[in-house]
Amino acid sequence: MPLPALFRHALRLPVIGAPMFLVSFPPLVKALCQAGVVGTFPHVNARPTAQLDAWLTEIAADLAAYRAAQPQAVVAPHGVNLVVHRSNPRFEPDLDVVVQHRVPFVITCLGHPGRVVDAVHGYGGTVFCDVTSAEHARKCIDAGVDGLICVGGGAGGHASAQSSFSLVREIRRFYDGCLVLGGAIGDGWQVRAAESLGADLAYVGTRFLATQESNAQPDYKQMVVDAGVADLVYTDRLSGVPANFLRPSLQRHGVDPDALPPKRPDMGSLADHEARLWKDLWSAGHGVATIDDVPTVQALVQRMADEYRAACALPRSAALAP
Ligand SMILES: Cc1cc2nc3c(=O)[nH]c(=O)nc-3n(C[C@H](O)[C@H](O)[C@H](O)COP(=O)(O)O)c2cc1C
């Protein structure tokens, strides 16, 4: 399946480190790229627009210096996630900054990506759109995106109720472009499984949240390590869009997970309420089931690469008749 030129022979593992609000800051983005997987962050983590400008300068300069100092290393491209929501006053000014910096990779979410496609294709950049349903996928394909990110059930952050197995195969039936699969992918076995399902790349959020370089507070990382799937609450009552939250973080802030307030209207990720919400009420996906450490990104990617190699070498099923 067609992989955009940006990613061809450019990664150590077919993985994009997913953008995470309040979690993906420059140290995580740079560590991911230096480990050979795509590093991304949501533009709204940089506040205000001047900080986005500064972060993009810093990331590009540090990665260039790293490439020069380590010519043998596989250093992956970086990217920015833009919230294309009508409520987002930062959208236009931040898109201008993205264009000025010619950011190689842009991920859109929560809106129609057409405006971003035009602007980013203008300088030769690559645009993927985050989708949680086949219907949304069709709209993004019509807008001319270079790839789709299918975020299936069990993902951290806003997640589909549709199983990844079903979502990616449904979209693959009508789309032969680049597909990325996300939702509870955190080891090399799962990355390989995503490829078996027809995805070209895997999208990994929660697993990278629990790393040394992530901006999550130490308590948050520990909660991810301690949690099982029974500790997650999947609800649209908190942010207006269905998302997975860590039950103990709700309880800590006096929110009864079993008596949540009525559903709020979708306010978009920039509303003040939304920022406060994600600061206190922590999100994570079903990947928590197998997360039991907080390694460096470099060590984690090495482990995932070893698992991926082992998964690629799996023999055919012993159940098959000769
Ligand atoms: C704490 C957290 C914050 C997130 N913030 C964003 C965001 O700002 N923008 C976005 O497009 N996706 C966001 N996501 C979703 C991720 O980009 C990605 O879709 C998801 O993490 C993949 O599933 P996984 O967590 O099971 O690996 C967030 C996820 C988490 C866990």
Domain ranges of the chain: 5-216+293-312, 218-280
For 19, the enclosing helix (H) or strand (E) is: none
Q: What average pLDDT score do residues 134-142 get?
A: 95
- pLDDT tens column, 75-89: 999 999 999 987 888
> 70: exposed, middle or buried (C-beta count within 10 Å: 0-12, 13-18, 19+)?
exposed
Q: Ligand 1 centroid to 151 CA: how many Å?
A: 9
CB 181 within 8 A of CB 203: yes
CB 9 within 8 A of CB 36: no
Report whether residue 277 contacts ligand 1, using a CB cutoff of 6 Å: no
Residue 60 Cα distances to 27, 65, 265, angstroms: 12, 9, 37
pLDDT tier at 263, thresholds 50, 70, 90: confident
Which CATH architecture group holds 5-216+293-312?
Answer: Alpha-Beta Barrel (3.20)
Q: Which atom of ligand 1 is nearest to the CA of 159?
A: 19
> Can you give the pLDDT at residue 278?
85
> Can you give the pLDDT at residue 33?
98
- pLDDT tens column, 35-64: 999 999 999 999 999 999 999 999 999 999
CB 118 within 8 A of CB 148: no
Length of the chain as a residue count: 322
Report whether residue 109 contacts ligand 1, using a CB cutoff of 6 Å: yes
> Can you give the pLDDT at residue 264?
64
Q: Ligand 1 centroid to 2 CA: how many Å?
A: 25
- pLDDT tens column, 101-123: 999 999 998 888 989 999 999 99
Residue type present at position 236 = D
Beta bridge partners of 248: none
d(CA 291, CA 15): 17
Report whether residue 199 contacts ligand 1, using a CB cutoff of 6 Å: no
Q: Which atom of ligand 1 is nearest to the CA of 42?
A: 8
Report whether residue 20 contacts ligand 1, using a CB cutoff of 6 Å: yes
Residue type present at position 217 = Q
pLDDT at 91 > cutoff 70: yes
> Can you give the pLDDT at residue 269?
47
For 78, the enclosing helix (H) or strand (E) is: strand 78-83
Residue 308 Cα distances to 11, 175, 191, 205, angstroms: 13, 26, 7, 17
Pull the structure tokens for residue 106: 């842009």
> Can you give the pLDDT at residue 265?
60
Pull the structure tokens for residue 33: 């790229």
CB 24 within 8 A of CB 41: yes
> Can you give the pLDDT at residue 270?
47
Q: What is the DSSP letter of 283?
A: B
- pLDDT tens column, 149-192: 999 999 999 889 999 999 999 999 999 999 999 999 999 999 99
